[in-house]
Amino acid sequence: MGRSWDLYFLVMTQQRSGLTQCPNNTEAQHRTHISEFQLISLSEDADLQPLLFGLFLCMYLVTVLGNLLTILAVSYDFHLHTPMYFFLSNLSLADICVISTTVPKMIVDIQTHSRVISYVGCLTQMSIFAIFACMDDMLLTVMAYDRYVAICHPLHYLVIMNHQLCGFLVLVSFLVSLFDSQMHNLIILQFTNFKSVEISIFFCDPSQLLNLACPDTFSNNILKYFLGAIHGLFPISGILFSYNKIISSILRIPSSRGRYKAFSTCGSQLAVVCLFWGTGFGAYLGSTVSYSPRKIVVASVMYTEVTPMLNPFIYILRNRDIKSTLRRLHSRSV
């Protein structure tokens, strides 16, 4: 929900509070060759483990099923072969990949009572997560631009948002996400020792590994903020610009019916954007008042599980076209 920009803020808050320090030379020699990391457990209470296992397994299955239904509906109905639904199907695919990168490992850890992840496995999980999390951010920005063109330039919409441009925007989003992921890998591979082997959340988040890396230099911090900007600053700037233009255009519509119709075309995406960024900034602002490692865990759960699970339901419940397509698919299967 990616979804890593606010986690960067949370990690930097932790860093400023002085909770972790780089080891001295003797300690660093013992941490040079790290073979594994320790992930945090959601709860140490043994009685809660079966409940957490069932809860996150259900959330995972609901998320995958809901997003697959969205992709199926868009693929099945020719009337949904438009730029908006093309981007929506790609967003659903990215959400499936994001949650499939983190939740299965967490479910297995709960069942086996293990929190260990190998060094190679951690870098692999971090790389895949960074690709699709950043892809989420980029696609939300592209979808905001699509709604901007549809509402502010409706007569030129089909000319501007042609098939070539839509494919190009998705390709650029993927390439930027891939670049961001590989930059994280290249930077972390340069470090030979870490402050600790314990990661403060239940998966290998890029910001967590950067925070644990030594030496903690000024250039290292600049790289953290630069990569965080790719995740959050640029996408949210594009979203705010697009919706500023959209709201200005809607308010200039004379009839209330026209304003309602215009707003309904972007209401679903606006709800997703508010859910994603609202929970992220809420967790960050809470951490600035009283820092707690659990707040990072809560924020990561919102990004990696809750938001991908709610996205398809928000779009389906607010979209008559998708609901009617799913009804036809259901009646046909019956």
Which one is predicted more confidently, 318 or 154? 154
pLDDT greater at residue 13 or residue 232? 232
Q: Hey, which of 89-93, 208-212, 277-281, 318-322 has the most confident mean pLDDT?
A: 89-93
Number of domains in the chain: 1
Q: Which pLDDT tens digit goes with each residue over 59-83?
A: 999 999 989 988 988 888 788 888 9
Domain harbouring 254, CATH code: 1.20.1070.10
What pLDDT, on a 0 to 100 scale, did the predictor assign at position 292? 61
Mean pLDDT of the chain: 77
Residue 220 has pLDDT above 50, yes or no: yes
- Give the pLDDT confidence of 171-186 residue by residue, as tens digits: 999 998 998 888 888 8
Task: Tell which wins on pLDDT, 260 or 60.
Answer: 60
pLDDT of residue 305: 82
pLDDT reported for residue 19: 42
pLDDT band at 295 (very low <50, low <70, confident <90, very high): low
The pTM for the full model equals 0.81
Query: What is the extent of the structural domain holding 311?
Result: 5-333
Task: Write a three-state SS string for the chain.
Answer: CCCCHHHHHHHHHHHHCCCCCCCCHHHHHHCCCCCEEEECCCCCCHHHHHHHHHHHHHHHHHHHHHHHHHHHHHHHCHHHCCHHHHHHHHHHHHHHHHHHHHHHHHHHHHHHCCCEEEHHHHHHHHHHHHHHHHHHHHHHHHHHHHHHHHHHCHHHHHHHCCHHHHHHHHHHHHHHHHHHHHHHHHHHHCCCEECCCEECCCCCCHHHHHHHEECCCHHHHHHHHHHHHHHHHHHHHHHHHHHHHHHHHHHCCCCHHHHHHHHHCCHHHHHHHHHHHHHHHHHHHHHHHCCCHHHHHHHHHHHHHHHHHHHHHHHHHCCHHHHHHHHHHHHHHC
What are the pLDDT digits (tens) for 97-138?
989 998 998 888 888 888 888 888 888 998 998 899 889 888
How high is the pLDDT of residue 167?
94
Report pLDDT digits (tens) over 28-55: 444 445 777 888 777 777 778 889 889 9
Region 181-204 average pLDDT: 79
